[in-house]
Amino acid sequence: MNCTLRRLLPLSVLSATLAAVSIMPAGAQPLDRIAVVVNDGVILESEIAIATQQATEQIRTRDVTPPPPDALRRQVLDRLIMVRVQTQRAEMAGIRIDDRELNEVLTNLAQENDMSLSQFADALRSQGTDYLTVREQIRDELAINRIRGREVEGRINVSENDIDIHLAQQEGRADDAEYRLQHILIGLRDGISPDERNEELARIESIRERIVDGGESFEAVAIAESDGQQALDGGDLGMRPAEALPAAFEEAAASLEVGEVSDVIDAGGGFHLVKLIERKGGDQRQNVDETRARHILIQPNAIRSDEESRTLARELHQRILDGESLAELAAEYSDDPGSKNNEGDLGFNPPGALVPQFQERMDALEPGEISEPFSTQFGWHIVEVVDRRTRDVTELAKRARARNAIQNRRAAEEYDSWARRLRAEAYVEYRIEGDKPPEDDEDAT
């Protein structure tokens, strides 16, 4: 869980927390009036104040000048509303992140920062950060990740034919090309009139002129102007394989020099600008060392204790040393249903395919060698290395990358559509003058 936590949301409030920022001055009193009603929930003015301070500090850590307060507040409020409608959706779907799971994630997070959980909590408090608020922010992120997996990613299927078509389209392009892009989106709502569309087009063209001709920072403009999910991150999409980018972005990136800004891209329900920050790429073969092994597994059960299992494993090991075949003993004694009928044969496996304790013992053996009995969470093992080989998995890896790219691309597109739909269907009532977007001036969404 800890390895994915930083990616749960594109604009995670966690990033600011981990940057060790101070959220509110010591002694400050939160403003508890209701700022926005979202369906059957609310967003308080104090929440906006905290999130705005987080965003400000996060922007400053990147040496970017924060946008004007009203522009930053709009971006922060948009994010809070999107978080709220998604957590409400998760709650409706019966998704609950209990304290046990939350504590496990927080413990892993603390360990990533070389702290215990109590030290992590104390560090936050020493900076003026409410630890309980951070807990709930992370709980929300986990819930959103769970509902996104269920309602978006879990419904995406990639067929072998999809992969074949994708690879055919990639013919002639550099394998493993990767791009880091910054992105500005001016979104177009459903039902927009031609005149309004032209106004938005003129707006993004003006934004491009400010950046290209006027010398404004792309990152700062993205923070102030973009409707994209990564706006408060300066529009940074991170390093991605070319094939994982939207097709229009991939085409634009391939033609850009590092530091260059694209022309306006009309795609996916909005107007886009992308800036190329970094490019990597090149053809290379991929080889993997695989090991073929046999083993005997002796598991404790209702009538055999762990110590009795260990004793039996030692007896079998001695019989093998005395000349009996591990394959024959595996067929008679092994408790591993997957290999028992194959005389304990596990086939060829690449590094990391087996549990770490087993992998470590197996890797220490030469072909023909047999291990001493050892334990894993599955029971007691005796392993024999039968053979090793180096295999060219370039094509397999290429198809795996293609599958992941298609999956990620479709997931990103579906997630944006899903999130916009939740937002459009939500009842949102602004209670503070000036917060209501222009298109909502007449009626609350």
The CATH number of residue 82's host domain is: 1.10.4030.10
- Please give the tally of structural domains in the chain: 3
DSSP code of 304? Answer: B
Whether residues 74 and 144 share a domain: the answer is yes
Range with lowest mean pLDDT among 102-116, 145-159, 284-298, 430-444: 430-444
Is residue 295 situated within a structural domain? Answer: yes
Is residue 162 situated within a structural domain? Answer: no
Whether residues 266 and 255 share a domain: the answer is yes
Whether residues 28 and 142 share a domain: the answer is yes
- Give the three-class secondary structure for 32: coil
Is residue 271 situated within a structural domain? Answer: yes
Domain containing residue 430: 171-284+397-440
- Mean pLDDT over the full length of the chain: 85
Q: Which of 155, 190, 218 is the last residue of a domain?
A: 155
The predicted pLDDT at position 66 comes to 86
Whether residues 26 and 140 share a domain: the answer is yes
Whether residues 227 and 260 share a domain: the answer is yes
Whether residues 300 and 381 share a domain: the answer is yes
Beta-bridged to residue 240, according to DSSP, are 179
Burial of 254 (0-12, 13-18, 19+ CB in 10 A): middle
The percentage of residues in the chain with a pLDDT greater than 70, rounded to a whole number, is 89
Is residue 45 situated within a structural domain? Answer: yes
Beta-carbon contacts of residue 311 (< 8 Å; ≥ 6 apart) = none
Whether residues 256 and 311 share a domain: the answer is no
Is residue 166 situated within a structural domain? Answer: no
Is residue 244 situated within a structural domain? Answer: yes
pLDDT band at 310 (very low <50, low <70, confident <90, very high): very high
pLDDT band at 440 (very low <50, low <70, confident <90, very high): low
Task: Report how far residue 98's alpha carbon sits from residue 100's, in angstroms, rounded to the nearest whole number.
Answer: 6
Q: Which of 96, 123, 155 is the last residue of a domain?
A: 155
Whether residues 13 and 111 share a domain: the answer is yes
The predicted pLDDT at position 284 comes to 53
Tokens of 148: 């996104």
**Kind and range of the H or E run holding 357:** helix 356-363
Task: Report how far residue 445's alpha carbon sits from residue 428's, in angstroms, rounded to the nearest whole number.
Answer: 5
Whether residues 434 and 343 share a domain: the answer is no
Task: Give the CATH number, domain containing residue 324.
Answer: 3.10.50.40
Whether residues 272 and 401 share a domain: the answer is yes
Whether residues 142 and 208 share a domain: the answer is no
Beta-carbon contacts of residue 152 (< 8 Å; ≥ 6 apart) = 411, 414, 415, 418
The predicted pLDDT at position 62 comes to 82
Is residue 164 situated within a structural domain? Answer: no
Q: pTM of the full predicted structure?
A: 0.59
Is residue 161 situated within a structural domain? Answer: no
pLDDT band at 401 (very low <50, low <70, confident <90, very high): confident
Contact in structure between 123 and 20 (CB atoms under 8 Å): yes
Whether residues 35 and 144 share a domain: the answer is yes
The structure tokens 């990613």 sit at 153
